[in-house]
Structures are given as structure tokens and as C-alpha cells.
């Protein structure tokens, strides 16, 4: 127990999420692909602490090496092409009102209808964000902010 406290003092950083953007096959013209990696949950619904001791133990490195124990992998829901609007669309149920490359919904592969998070434009410089379990506010906000970095977001 004493060793655990000492380790926390030397490495207090706790990782809550990692976001990976893939370039899509259409380059900049098509929808973006996003992977979100978050710590898993314990049986009593508490977040597993991920405090990397070195670079090989980060969320991102564990995901790259497919060491997914105690991690959850989420993806953005793939939008569908709409011939009428000549654009890719998602159903935001009225919560998102303007088209934007930054609009997205995050789901788990096992249930694409359970939207864990959605983010989108409602006015020129105004966005809305909705999230639910297993995300917390800080994780959802960080994921939303990542969509504004043009280098990360492949724009």
C-alpha cells in the first residue's frame, strides 16, 4: 500500500482518453474516422485508473499494441450519403442544426444505436455536446475539443 502512494507522488498523471483520427479514403472530401480509447470500468461501475509509468503503458500505446485489457474502444458512427443534400448525414434528433465536418456521434461497435456522445454545430461559432455513460464530462469535453485541431482532424 505504501508503495502505491509513493508511485502516485512520482507519477500523478492519470489518462482519461486518447483520440485517434484516421485519414479517410476520400481524402478531405469524405467523413473523418475517429477512434476513442478510454479506461474501462470495474464491476461496480468505477473507472479503472490508468497512470502510465512509461510511454509503453499509455492508452495510445496499449491500443497500438492491442493490449486492450481494461480499456474501451469507441468509434464515430459512420454517416450515410444523402442524395438530396449531396452530403454525409447523421440523425442528431434535432440537437445539431448545421452541417460541419466537426459533427460526430461516438458509439461502441457492439451497439451502434447507443450513442455515447454527440457533438455538432448549431450556429456559426456555437456547438452542442451530449454525452452519457461510460464517459464523464472531462472525457467528453476533451473529445469534442480534439475535433477543432485541424492537423489532428485531417482537414
Q: What is the pLDDT of residue 3?
A: 52
Confidence of residue 5 (pLDDT cuts 50, 70, 90): low
The percentage of residues in the chain with a pLDDT greater than 70, rounded to a whole number, is 83
Contact 138, 129 (CB under 8 A): no
Please check the confidence at residue 6 and state whether its pLDDT lies above 90. Answer: no
Domain 2-146 has CATH 3.30.1490.480: no
pTM comes to 0.83
Q: What is the pLDDT of residues 15-61, one digit of tens each?
A: 999 999 887 655 555 667 899 999 999 999 999 999 998 888 999 99
Give the residue extent of every domain in the chain.
2-146
Please check the confidence at residue 124 and state whether its pLDDT lies above 60. Answer: yes
Q: Cα angle vertex 128, ends 115, 24, to 5°?
A: 60
Q: What is the pLDDT of residue 153?
A: 43
> What is d(CA 93, CA 103) in angstroms, rounded to the nearest whole number?
13
Amino acid at each position: 500500500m505504501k508503495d502505491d502512494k509513493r508511485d502516485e507522488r512520482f507519477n500523478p498523471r492519470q489518462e482519461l482518453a486518447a483520440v485517434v483520427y484516421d485519414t479517410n479514403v476520400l481524402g478531405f472530401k469524405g467523413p473523418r474516422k475517429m477512434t476513442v480509447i478510454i479506461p474501462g470500468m470495474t464491476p461496480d461501475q468505477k473507472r479503472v485508473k490508468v497512470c502510465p509509468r512509461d510511454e509503453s503503458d499509455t492508452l495510445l500505446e496499449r491500443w497500438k499494441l492491442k493490449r486492450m485489457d481494461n480499456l474501451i474502444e469507441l468509434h464515430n458512427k459512420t454517416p450515410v450519403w444523402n442524395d438530396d443534400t449531396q452530403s454525409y448525414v447523421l440523425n442528431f434528433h434535432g440537437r445539431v442544426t448545421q452541417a460541419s465536418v466537426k459533427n460526430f456521434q461516438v458509439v461502441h461497435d457492439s451497439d451502434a444505436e447507443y450513442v455515447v456522445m454527440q457533438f455538432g454545430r448549431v450556429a456559426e461559432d456555437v456547438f452542442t455536446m451530449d454525452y452519457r455513460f461510460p464517459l464523464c464530462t472531462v472525457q467528453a469535453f476533451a473529445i469534442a475539443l480534439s475535433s477543432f485541431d485541424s492537423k489532428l482532424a485531417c482537414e
